[in-house]
Amino acid sequence: MILADAVLTTAGVESAFSLADYYPVFIFLGVVTGFALSSLIGSQLFYRLGLKPFKPTAVKAMAYESGMDPVGTARMQFDVKFYLIAILFLVFDVELLFLYPWSVVAYSDGSSPEWKQLFGRLVFWEIVVFMISLGIGYIYAWRKGVFKWK
């Protein structure tokens, strides 16, 4: 096996890019293909051996598309309630998305005591302000009746 060269980046010494490191992708590809093939072959085998009933209906024969009709025009009307929920979801999603990196970086071992003394409070209050602004968005949505499914 060829050893990867080391390079110096801003984050320290790291191994250089090498395509061979990405071999798990091919394992994954094999598993996916194997699963698809074996389930197709398996269902055929069960049917041929008489272990599985065969009673097709129009609905059963349809490709599964989350309850939507997969064939036909894509320009149909969706209830606006779905969009409201989707937007509301962002409030919580963005919160988590931002809080994870914050909590990893803000008070990690890498931050020096000097840094903590200067910016520790600032970083804390920043995240508090961020949470409050999301809270305001949540209260606004609540008061406007987004949670009532009517």
Partner 1 sequence: MNSLEHTLQQAFQLAVPEVALVGVACVLFLLGTARGVNRHLAGFIALGGLAIAAISHFTALPRVPGIETVTPLLGDKFAMFVRMAAFATGAALVLFAWNECDDRRSSDYMACLLIATAGSSLVGTANDLIFLFLALELVSIPTYVMLYLPGLQSKKGQEAVVKYFMLSVMSSAMLLFGFSYIYGLTGTTNLAAIQEILPRLVAGSESTTAIIAIVFVTAGLGFRITAFPFHFYAPDVYEGGPTGTVAFLAFVPKVSGFAALLKLFAFLGSAHAVANEFVKQAMMLFWILSAITMTAGNVMGLLQNNLKRMLAYSGVANAGYMLIGLAVMPTQAYRGIDEAVVATGPEAIMFYLLAYGAMTIGTLTVISHLHSPNRPVETVDDVAGLRETHPYSAALLGIFLLSMIGLPLTAGFAGKFLLFMSALAAPAAAPMRDLFVALAVIGAVNAAIGAYYYLRVINAMFLRTSLSAPTPRRTAGPLWVTAIICAVFTVAFGVYPLPMINLSRAAVGGL
Select from 45-53, 81-89, 90-98, 135-143 the region that touches partner 1 (CB under 8 A). Answer: 135-143
Shortest reach from residue 134's CB to partner 1, in Å:
11
Give dist(CA 73, CA 70) in Å, integer: 9
* Interactions with partner 1, residue window 114-133 (CB under 8 A): 118-119, 122, 133
Cβ proximity to partner 1: between 66 and 112 the closer is 112
Nearest to 150 by CA among 95, 64, 84, 105: 84
Q: Does 136 bind partner 1 (CB under 8 A)?
A: yes
143 near partner 1, rule: CB under 8 A:
yes
Size of the site for partner 1 (CB under 8 A): 9
Return the half-sphere exposure (C-beta side, CA atoms, 13 A cut-off) of residue 115. Answer: 10
Tell me 60's DSSP state: H
For residue 144 the two structure tokens come to 């406007």
Q: Which is nearer to partner 1, 55 or 148 (CB)?
A: 148
Which residue intervals of the chain are DSSP H helices?
A: 24-48, 58-61, 80-105, 113-143
> Mask 68-107, x = binds partner 1 (CB under 8 A)?
----------------------------------------
Distances (CA, A) of 46 to 60, 61, 70: 18, 18, 28
Three-state SS for 8? strand
Q: 36, 68, 128, 139: which one contacts partner 1 (CB under 8 A)? A: 139
- Applying CB under 8 A, which residues contact partner 1? 118-119, 122, 133, 136, 139-140, 143-144
